[in-house]
Chain A
Amino acid sequence: MSKADRRLTRFINALIANRRPPRSPAGDDSAAMQVAARLRAAHPGGSTPSPAFVDNLARQLREAPGEDPTWAETGIRRRRFLVGGLATVAASVAAGVGLEGLREALTEPASGSGTIQPYVSTWVAVATLDEVTPGKIKQFSAGGIQGVVFTLDGKIRGLSAVCTHQGCTLIPESGQNRLVCPCHPMSFNLTGAANPGDYRLNPLPAIATRVNADNVEVQVPASWT
């Protein structure tokens, strides 16, 4: 059997054992693999979700981080179509689905919540360079923003230190390169992404940083007094 044969065989065996198929390049077998998934899905009795799964997902959704369910504001917000470059967006619009923030809905959470960009901003020194040598995390509070600055991949970066779940201020753990929530068993890594845990949380917004002489400055709202 060729290498491709062995890969496809492992893929088939995983499906028939009802396991997640292993990570492996599809090569020329992309269509064959997807046909295999279709065929396996057609076996009798497999396509009904388990009651335990349905209940657990319901609970997960109830505890999901607080984006306002937009139907709570029916009649206030006007129907709005966001047309983007994504084919899937166009498909939804063609299907006549009126949705708020469709573009955001289709954005990977891991791609970040973006950088905090106040309309009117100022730069404030919050650390000295030796407070952000690799491995250290420096907390700050400036311009109404609770944040941290640190060095990651040779660059000085800033992140919001407010948990995207319920707004608790995160505690830096320098040695572990993470920010830990005091309220729930969740933490974020220094890219801002939530580490896997009980909740699926949006990533932390980034904060713009720059170095001025020996100081690390962050860009924060100017209007905060």
Chain B
Amino acid sequence: MAVPESPPPLRVVGTPDRQSDWESLYQEHVAPLYRYVYSRTGNTPDAEDVTSTTFLRALPRLRSDVSSAEIGAYLRTTARTVLADVWRQRHGTVLMEFDEQRDASPEPEQQRDVDVTPILDGLPDNYRSVLEFRFLRGYSIRETAAAMGVSVANAKVLQLRALRRAATTGASYVEG
């Protein structure tokens, strides 16, 4: 992605005095929204696309006299509809919510990585290990197999079983 040497300043068309509104709103919300979206896509290309679409769709509708928390909530609501479109169009399925409670909270999301403890908790040790090696550490199947002392074929099957188990144990807090 090309980086301009000096990006043009942000502004609201026709109202130069409101430039700071626009810019501060964007700068405040872009990273938290990106984190929210990334936690539901798990890859950078999708996270960037969904974040862009969300801002393009939502920003013209936002008002400056609502609170930052409300703006954050609206951005996340918009992002959910964009994410739902991606899942529906690409995989023919609905978007699930695993932590609606926290998402609905008006607090901006913390500056931290995604917490997946609820997903991993309660899994058998080998399931938990294979998911940690593969997803959290990004090990290859071969590296995962070596780390766990199992065959490559075994590791391949194990990651699928672990994921499916995690999906069913997570079902109690899955909505939709």
Q: Which residues of A contact B (CB under 8 A)?
A: 1, 5, 8-9, 12, 14-16, 18-21, 23-26, 29-62, 64, 66-72, 74-75, 86, 88, 91-92, 95-102, 104-106, 108, 200
A35-B45 in contact given A41-B39, A42-B114 (Cβ < 8 Å): no
> With A and B bound together, what is the CA distance between A39 and B42 in angstroms?
7
Sample of 8 A–B contacts (CB below 8 Å): A14-B43, A38-B42, A47-B39, A49-B47, A57-B52, A72-B18, A97-B71, A104-B61
Min CB–CB distance B4 → chain A (angstroms)? 7
B122 located at the interface, meaning its Cβ lies under 8 Å from any Cβ of chain A in the complex: no
A10 to B57, CA, bound (A): 31
- Docked Cα-Cα span, A91 to B85, in Å, equals 17
- Chain B interface residues (CB < 8 Å from chain A): 1-4, 7-8, 10-15, 18, 21-23, 26, 30-31, 34-35, 38-48, 51-53, 55-66, 70-71, 73-74, 77-78, 80-81, 85, 87, 89-96, 98, 104, 106, 113-116, 119, 131, 134-138, 156-157, 159-160, 163-164, 166-168, 170-171, 174
Q: A32-B164, A55-B7 known; A38 and B119 CB under 8 Å? A: yes
| A12 and B159 contacting across the interface, CB-CB below 8 Å | yes
Taking the closest CB of chain B, its distance from the CB of A211, in whole angstroms, is 35
A91 — which chain B residues lie within 8 A by C-beta? 77, 104
> Closest residue to A20 on the B side, CB-wise?
B45
B63 touches A53 (CB 8 A): no
Where chain B touches its partner, the secondary structure class is helix
User: Are B12 and A69 neighbours in the complex by a CB distance under 8 Å?
Assistant: yes
User: For B94, what are the chain A residues with a Cβ–Cβ distance below 8 Å?
Assistant: 30
Q: Is B42 a contact of A15 with CB atoms below 8 Å?
A: yes
Partner of B22, one of A40, A67, A69, A99: A69
A23 touches B90 (CB 8 A): yes
**How many Å from the CB of A154 to the closest CB on chain B?**
26
Is A36 a contact of B45 with CB atoms below 8 Å?
no
**A49 in contact with B31 (CB, 8 Å):** yes
Q: Judge whether B92 and A26 touch: CB under 8 Å.
A: yes
If A35-B119, A41-B38, A108-B85 touch, whether A21 touches B90 (CB-CB below 8 Å) is yes
Q: Are A16 and B134 in contact (CB under 8 A)?
A: yes
Are the C-beta atoms of B91 and A24 separated by less than 8 Å? yes
Q: Which of B4, B60, B73, B138 contacts A95 (CB 8 A)?
A: B73
Task: Choose among B10, B63, B77, B163 the residue that contacts A92 (Cβ–Cβ < 8 A).
Answer: B77
CB of B70 within 8 A of CB of A46, answer no
The 9 closest A-B pairs by CB, nearest first: A37-B42, A71-B64, A40-B42, A31-B167, A39-B135, A67-B60, A30-B93, A26-B91, A26-B93
Contact A58 B10 (CB under 8 A): yes
In angstroms, Cα B73 to Cα A102, docked, is 13
Complex interface: chain B residues within 8 A of A37 (CB): 39-43
Take A30-B96, A31-B174, A66-B13 as given contacts and tell me if A38 and B116 are in contact as well, using a CB distance cutoff of 8 Å. Answer: yes
Residues A48 and B136 in contact in the complex (CB < 8 Å), given A35-B163, A39-B42, A61-B59: no
With A15-B42, A16-B134, A102-B61 known as contacts, the answer to whether A5 contacts B160 (CB < 8 A) is: yes
Whether A42 lies near B116 (C-beta < 8 A) is yes
Bound: A141/B1 CA distance, A: 42
Which residues of the partner chain A approach B10 to less than 8 Å between Cβ atoms? 58, 61-62
